Amino acid sequence: MTDAYDVSGALPGGDLDELPAGTNIVVVGPSMSGKQALALELLAAGYEDGDGILCISTESAEKVYTDLERHVDSLDRDRVGIVDTSGGDGTDLLDATIESISSPGDLTGISVSMAKLFRHFEDRGVSDIRYGLISISTLLQYLDSSKVFRFLHVYTKRIEETGGLGIYTLSNDSHDQQVVNTITGQFDGVIELRDTDSGEMEFRVRGLGRRPTAWEPF
Amino acid sequence: MTDQEQPVVLIAEDEQTIAEGYELWLSDQYEVRLTADGQEALDAVDDTVDVVLLDRMMPELSGEQVLREIRERAIDCRVAMVTAVEPDFDVVEMGFDAYITKPPERQELLDTIQQLLDRAGVDDAFQQYHSLMARRGALQAQKTEAELEQSEVYQDLLDRIESQRTEVDDNLGNMGAEVDFVSAVREVEDGDSGFDDVELGEGENFEDADTGDFETSEGSDD
């Protein structure tokens, strides 16, 4: 099992090269700011080196799969698992192992699927796993914020104790600022994205036991 | 603690000597109800029961069938499977909250029951924790990082958050184990999530934040 996950190249500059095993980090920004692409990049960054990808998606597995393919050359079903909570018909994709859940509100179903995919990876000797949860914003549409908060606590704890890397996305323009703060407070680190007046994207990194970085072009 | 306040453990075990052995171990701390098969267990289980110990292999109704019925009836109790066969992932999928391999050690049985009772209490611990975290979220929205760093109220809040988080985690148990993880999520999903506007209800403690009393506010206690 690894001590740290390589994430170099996901963000410009050398601010974020690797993250210790057990880290949970959330990508926060306005809608359409590229949060999901960055999250997928972080998920995919260790794939060539043998890391597994286990992604809980509130969109269809096909969508995640197609998006992941932009970051990874060829997917392998032994190392890519998707928990599809979109309620779709659960089409099995050739190169990924899919678990289908009828609704993002079925938290127990999500946790059983996640544990099942974990076992699937374990049986194949894949012990370094990057977990995606895309997106927290959609969970907040199905469940009250208190339930989402509690679920995320249990879920991040699970990743911490199994030495995984957890990557999450959350919009900050569709929820109350305090709800966003309360939820992001549960993570070890936050990558914030923002639009500038000139239409460029910027990012900064908070948490992870360091001083916050300045806003930099993304 | 009076007898009425003892947690209730319902045991479904068809071998009488084994059942009586459990009772001997448990009756100091718990109110024990013995049933001899799955149907008896279903007749006896209700919301007063805190933990059910279900033998996996019983004549007529199996432990799995009894569990399914308990879940269908939405009875608020935690269910541990007692099994002679080392269980596979199916125990997790079936929805058991724990498993105990047969024959259990006394301490193992007591520890498992205690963990399930602790997890049943996580709702209250979570409510406190969420409330403190929401308070922090509100302060972060109102104040700059530099102001927060200078604030005793805020530092005190961080300490309380840390100790409350420890309590939540103790109640949850070992999240590295699949059966405990799924059981904890079930507890969250089925549990009473309390008032959702917890964020707004806690406002009195930092109402003064804008008036400059923030650093010296003594209103940090509940």
**Closest Cβ opposite residue B194 in set A146, A157, A179:** A146
| pLDDT number for residue A72 | 86
Using one digit for the tens of pLDDT, what is the confidence trace for B36-78? 999 999 999 999 999 999 999 888 888 899 999 999 999 999 9
Q: State pLDDT tens for residues B161-217.
A: 999 999 999 999 999 999 999 999 999 999 876 654 444 444 444 444 443 344 434
Mean per-residue pLDDT for B141-157?
93
**In chain A, pLDDT over 70 holds for what percent of residues?**
97
Confidence class for position A54, pLDDT limits 50, 70, 90: very high
**Mean pLDDT computed over every residue of chain A:** 92
- B76-129 pLDDT, tens digit each: 999 999 998 888 888 899 999 999 999 999 999 999 999 999 999 999 999 999
**Contact yes or no for B167/B81 (Cβ under 8 A):** no
Q: Is B184 on the interface with A (CB under 8 A)?
A: yes
Q: In Å, how far is A176's CA from the nearest CA of chain B?
A: 10
The model's pTM is: 0.91
Residue B99, beta-bridge partner list:
B81
pLDDT in tens, A1-10: 889 999 998 9
Contact B184 A154 (CB under 8 A): yes
pLDDT at site B192: 76
Contact residues, chain A to chain B, C-beta under 8 Å: 106-108, 110-112, 115-116, 118-119, 144-147, 149-151, 153-155, 157-158, 160-162, 176-183, 185-186, 212
**Contact flag B89-A116 (C-beta cutoff 8 Å):** yes
ipTM exceeds 0.90: yes
Q: For the segment A84-102, what is each residue's pLDDT rounded down to a tens digit?
A: 999 876 666 666 788 999 9
Q: By C-alpha distance, which of B104, B116, B77 is closest to B21?
A: B104
Distance CA B189, CA A151 (A): 8
Pairing relation of β-strands A18-20 and A4-6?
antiparallel
Residue of A nearest to B93 (CA): A112
Confidence of residue A163 (pLDDT cuts 50, 70, 90): very high
Do the Cβ atoms of B137 and A180 come within 8 Å? Answer: yes
Mean pLDDT of B134-156: 93
What per-residue confidence (pLDDT) applies to A25?
98
Confirm or reject contact between B65 and chain A (CB < 8 A).
Answer: no
Q: Coil, strand, or helix at residue A29? A: strand
| Residue numbers in A near B186 (CB within 8 A) | 107-108, 111
B158 touches chain A (CB under 8 A): no
- Whether B87 contacts chain A with CB within 8 A: no
pLDDT at A95: 67
What single letter denotes the amino acid at residue B99? Y
CB A132 within 8 A of CB A54: yes
